[in-house]
């Protein structure tokens, strides 16, 4: 009793275990906090899948478990920032419930973007940067969830099945979310900190076990529904091993080649080739940060049973349903479109769903604009998003004119692929580096140091190379794509499709979709 009284009456503070570990390891508290929360989510996901399985536990119990852990992790990770999550989600939920579904989706989108923008600007004025693992990232995810849900409900209440696009049919919601369903979706611990975003229709199927239900025919030819839940052990194990590898690169290698050194005197005083070489190396090791976060989060979702995407041709289960980055396709991309299509996949799907497929004109312009605002207002972001359409347009123009000359043999095609891979790799590093610089003076300093060479090259290509034919039909009736090549396929994420000229970047008209009154 005396010891307890002495401790309570003294000014000694109870040590924070996370701060203690961070001090011992020499890292930031936020980083230890992030690792702790993700490890907790991983362990919980396994327990959630096996002990709260939808075969023997009600959806209500699963929703309550998701809310309790998600809210706890949010309080630990964001502190008072959790009120931004509660405020933004609460206001949007009221809009969804009480506003007319014909226009409700626009109010929700505008509100969530304005709320996110206010936080972006507040942090920017405070000079807080973007690497603090604070609540901005989760608030960006929340913006995606809420606006996508609003558009899904709008489609469900104002459109019939025939008027929906393929993506709209996938995401459509034909009833209002119940209270527990909504907050379980918002605080889903598997994707709370860094995503990837699971859209509402898929999330409810996961909670109710419908993602593992499928129809089969018995020996009498009658259809019946069976519950087929394959193991995700292999997917989770491989993704966790890759996460460990990326963590090692992030901790041991990335600090030796910081991106900010690209504008340091030590690098700028070297030769042009050395500066470009250092840029490529620094960008490559910096990718480990995103790979670590996204692949780890993907493993957490798979451990809970989220992300099952069917079976491959050999009958093995695949778990790429909510993957945010396809590492192999991204690292081996031979075009900027292929590269963009395999990076931040879930956000690209959101942009297509709420913007590209809905605006009646200048589709690519408004989609890039929404993406830029969603990321924040640092000049470095806008430098990248303004440059991206220019580079994509130029790359498609070159592809249309040059690629046919390399298709006559396997060797020539391989040579072409190697060259285009190298050009894509260099272009990515060149155009993405302002994302880390953030500030305008540093961005201009870097581009001046490399003489704006790739910007000038892209402008020359767009101004001097012949224009591509617009999509249409040859005289034979064979369909052509935007490259003038005979193919019926276009990219899944149309906002990243290449534009044939500068004009097409800011002008891409298309008829509006028919609407059915409620």
Q: Which residues are marked as active site?
A: 344, 375
List, in sequence order, every beta strand (DSSP E) within 218-347: 223-227
- Classify residue 91 by burial, with Cβ atoms within 10 Å: 0-12, 13-18, 19+: middle
Give yes or no for a contact between 190 and 172, defined as CB atoms under 8 angstroms apart: no
Secondary structure (3-state) at 479: strand
Nearest to 420 by CA among 398, 438, 445, 388: 398
Cα dihedral 135/137/139/145 (nearest 10): -150
Task: Return the DSSP state at 30.
Answer: H
CA distance 91 to 408: 59
For residue 162 the two structure tokens come to 């025939």
For residue 373 the two structure tokens come to 């605002």
**Cross-strand partners of 226:** 214
**What phi and psi, each to the nearest 5 degrees, are found at residue 482?**
-70, -10
CA distance 399 to 393: 10
CA distance 243 to 253: 15
Consecutive H or E run containing 275: helix 272-304
Q: How many CB atoms lie within 10 A of CB 410?
A: 8
**What phi and psi, each to the nearest 5 degrees, are found at residue 228?**
-120, 100
CA distance 187 to 121: 24
Secondary structure (3-state) at 496: helix
CA distance 200 to 193: 17
Residue holding tokens 């023997």? 56
Residue holding tokens 């009958």? 315
C-alpha dihedral sign at 420, 421, 426, 432? positive
In the Cβ-directed half-sphere of 210, how many Cα atoms lie within 13 Å?
A: 8
């Amino acid at each position: 009793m005396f010891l307890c009284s002495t401790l309570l009456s003294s000014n000694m503070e109870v040590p924070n275990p996370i701060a203690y570990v961070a001090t011992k390891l020499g890292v930031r508290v936020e980083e230890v906090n992030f690792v702790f929360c993700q490890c907790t989510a991983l362990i919980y996901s396994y327990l959630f899948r096996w002990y709260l399985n939808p075969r023997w536990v009600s959806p209500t119990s699963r929703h309550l478990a998701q809310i309790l852990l998600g809210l706890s992790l949010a309080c630990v990770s964001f502190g008072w920032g959790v009120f931004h999550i509660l405020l933004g989600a609460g206001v949007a939920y009221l809009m969804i419930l009480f506003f007319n579904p014909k226009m409700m989706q626009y109010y929700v989108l505008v509100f969530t973007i304005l709320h996110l923008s206010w936080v972006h600007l507040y942090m920017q004025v405070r000079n807080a940067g973007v690497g603090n693992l604070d609540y901005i990232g989760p608030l960006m995810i929340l913006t995606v969830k809420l606006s996508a849900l609003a558009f899904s409900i709008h489609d469900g209440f104002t459109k019939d099945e025939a008027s929906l696009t393929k993506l709209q049919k996938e995401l459509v919601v034909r009833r209002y979310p119940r209270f527990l369903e909504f907050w379980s979706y918002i605080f889903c611990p598997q994707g709370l900190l860094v995503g990837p975003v699971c859209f509402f229709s898929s999330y409810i199927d996961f909670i109710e076990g419908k993602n593992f239900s499928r129809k089969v025919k018995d020996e009498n030819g009658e259809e019946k529904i069976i519950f087929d839940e394959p193991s995700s052990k292999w997917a989770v194990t491989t993704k966790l091993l890759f996460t460990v590898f990326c963590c090692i690169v992030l901790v041991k290698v990335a600090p030796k080649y910081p991106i900010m050194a690209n504008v340091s005197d030590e690098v700028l005083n070297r030769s042009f080739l050395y500066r470009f070489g250092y840029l490529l190396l620094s960008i490559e090791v910096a990718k480990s940060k995103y790979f670590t976060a996204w692949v780890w989060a993907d493993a957490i979702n798979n451990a809970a049973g989220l992300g099952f995407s069917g079976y491959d041709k050999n009958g093995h289960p695949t778990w790429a349903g909510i993957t945010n980055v396809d590492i192999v396709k991204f690292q081996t991309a031979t075009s900027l479109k292929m590269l963009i299509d395999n990076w931040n996949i879930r956000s690209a799907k959101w942009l297509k769903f709420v913007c590209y497929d809905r605006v009646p004109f200048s589709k690519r312009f408004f989609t890039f604009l929404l993406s830029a605002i969603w990321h924040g207002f640092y000049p470095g972001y806008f430098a990248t998003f303004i440059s991206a359409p220019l580079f994509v347009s130029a790359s498609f123009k070159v592809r249309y004119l040059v690629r046919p000359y390399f298709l006559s043999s396997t060797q020539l095609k391989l040579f072409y692929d190697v060259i285009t891979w190298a050009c894509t790799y260099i272009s990515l590093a060149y155009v993405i580096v302002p994302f880390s610089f953030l500030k305008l003076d540093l961005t201009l300093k870097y581009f001046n140091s490399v003489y704006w060479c790739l910007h000038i090259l892209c402008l020359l290509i767009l101004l001097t190379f012949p224009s591509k034919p617009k999509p249409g039909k040859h005289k034979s009736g064979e369909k052509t794509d935007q490259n003038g090549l005979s193919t019926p396929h276009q990219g899944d994420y149309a906002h990243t499709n290449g534009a044939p000229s500068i004009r097409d970047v800011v002008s891409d008209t298309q008829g509006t979709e028919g609407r059915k009154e409620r």
